[in-house]
Structures are given as C-alpha cells and as structure tokens.
Amino acid sequence: MTENTLWQDSFLARFSPPVQQKLLALSEPFHFPAGQTIFEEGAASLYLYVVKSGRVAIEAHIPAWGNRLITTLGPGELFSWSALIEPRIETASARAVEDTEVVGIKGGALMDACREDAEFGFQLYRTLAEVITDRLVSTRRQLLGGHHEPEEARISR
C-alpha cells in the first residue's frame, strides 16, 4: 500500500493534505510478523497506529473468560487511540494475525501538535471520536445480536 493509498483508504482520508503531511511527519513504519504481540493491555500507549497491510487482532482480558477477541482490523483501520488519551495506557492488547505493516504516529508528539494548533487538534479529536463511536456501535450490535465468538478467536488460542 502506498502512502497515497493509505490516506485514501483510511480514517486519514478525512483530513486535508496539510494535516496528512503533519501526521506523516510524526509517523514511522513498523512490521510485525504473524503472531507477534504489538502491545499488551496495561502497557504504556506510545503510538496511534494505522494498518497498512495485514490484519491485527484486538483482544481484551476478561477475568472470568481469559483473553477475548474484540475485533480484527485490516488495511486503513486505526487502533491504539489510547496514545492520545491520558493516562496513555493500553486498554486492550494487539497482535498481528498475519504478517502486518503499520504506520505508528507518535502519541506524545501528536498531543503536542494538537496543543500548538487548535484547528489541527479539533480535526484529529473529532475524527477520532467518530472512529471510537463506530467501534462502540459495532461492539454493541455484536453483543446485542448474541453473536458467538468469531471462529478466528477460538483458533488463535
């Protein structure tokens, strides 16, 4: 996936080219082989990630049931927004389901940029709120629909 495709096919497409360039300047690429943990629940949240290629499983630990799959994300999707919300601690774990490339946008630098440029910060947090809302609605539908645990979650344990 090229950088232009990354912007076109993700939440980043909602931003103007200057904002996209600012985000790109604060980012770095990461590669995770299949099965590698990207971060664990409770760890410091350092980056806001966008999947370039591959798939990422987001899992939460539920004491009575162990680790449970929340969602699986693909190219263009965002995860680890905890990097932008104090106290910047991961609220779930992330694992590469297959060989995966992501762009990591440095959370601390991104928060500083938001403080320095109120319009940039407004655009970022408004878009982030839309992504979080979509995820919460999707999770709620899954819970209310009585869907069973995805096959992938049973296989991955």
Q: How many domains does the chain fold into?
A: 1
Dihedral sign computed on CA atoms, order 130, 120, 11, 78: negative
Which domain, by its residues, includes 118? 3-156
Q: Does residue 61 carry a pLDDT above 50?
A: yes
Could you tell me the pTM of the whole model? 0.83
Q: What is the predicted pLDDT for the residue at 8?
A: 64
Q: Does residue 54 carry a pLDDT above 70?
A: yes
The average confidence (pLDDT) of the chain is 86
Task: Report residue 148 as tokens.
Answer: 């069973």
Strands (E), the chain: 27-32, 37-39, 47-53, 56-62, 66-73, 78-79, 93-96, 100-106
Q: What is the predicted pLDDT for the residue at 31?
A: 98
Which CATH number fits the domain that encloses residue 37?
A: 2.60.120.10
Task: Name the 3-class secondary structure at 4.
Answer: helix
Cross-strand partners of 96: 56
Other CB atoms closer than 10 Å to residue 107's CB: what's the count?
Answer: 22
Q: What is the pLDDT of residues 93-122, one digit of tens each?
A: 999 999 999 999 999 999 999 999 999 999
The percent of residues in the chain predicted with pLDDT above 70, rounded, is 86
* Rounded (10°) angle between helices 17-25 and 118-144: 90
Q: What is the pLDDT of residues 20-50, one digit of tens each?
A: 888 889 999 999 999 999 999 999 999 999 9
